[in-house]
Amino acid sequence: MALRGQTPDGISEELKERGLEIAAVISNDVFPNTPLPIEEVSLETLRQSVEALLIFPYRLTQLLLPPMKLARRGTFVFITSARYLQPEPGFSVATLVRAGTTAFALALAKEAAPFGIQVNVVAPNYLYSEAYYPRARFIDDPAGRREIASKVPMGRLGEPREIGELIEFLASGRSPFTTGQVINFSGGWP
């Protein structure tokens, strides 16, 4: 079932109107990143990134956490980035904001654990996507595959199916003692 709400408050209201209880929240917000030197990043771009990648999931959590606390169960999985492990030139905004969301999730894990609520982070890098690692350049082109193999110990890009299975497991509640973890989905990089 798809929701019409596009803001945290809109999503929360729609859930209440439909009488739906949320057992798991998977936060995979996205905002375009154009690699730029720090001095060339506009403050407006920084603000928009913070709004989309940190404030949106923070506010949604504020709204969905109280019913989970009452039910004494629930799961949050935040998809952020492993880029903080080895920052790259031009990615200051993505690195900063995703690291902030990771830190928020770890703080949430401490607060939510006494209520039986799990909070974990999946931090990918070198995951196939047309936005970051397009097929034509990094999968179909032998030079692109060699470039990835030189950086990623697994020798390839991660596949969406693989990260999906990890997220599904974390959201399933099948390992309720697992909370406050950052799982780097990066094929052994860095």
What is the DSSP secondary structure assignment for residue 52, as one 8-state letter?
Answer: I
What is d(CA 54, CA 107) in angstroms, rounded to the nearest whole number?
13
Q: Quick check: helix, strand or coil at residue 185?
A: strand
| Domain locations along the chain | 22-185
pLDDT digits (tens, 9 = 90+) for 87-129: 989 999 999 999 999 999 999 999 999 999 999 999 999 999 9
At the second CATH level, the architecture of 22-185 is 3-Layer(aba) Sandwich (3.40)
Taking the CA atoms of the chain, what radius of gyration do you get in angstroms?
A: 18
Q: pTM for this structure?
A: 0.94
pLDDT digits (tens, 9 = 90+) for 19-76: 999 999 999 988 888 899 999 999 999 999 999 999 999 999 999 999 999 999 999 9
Nearest to 151 by CA among 126, 132, 133: 126
Asked if 158 and 99 count as a contact pair (C-beta separation under 8 A), the reply is no
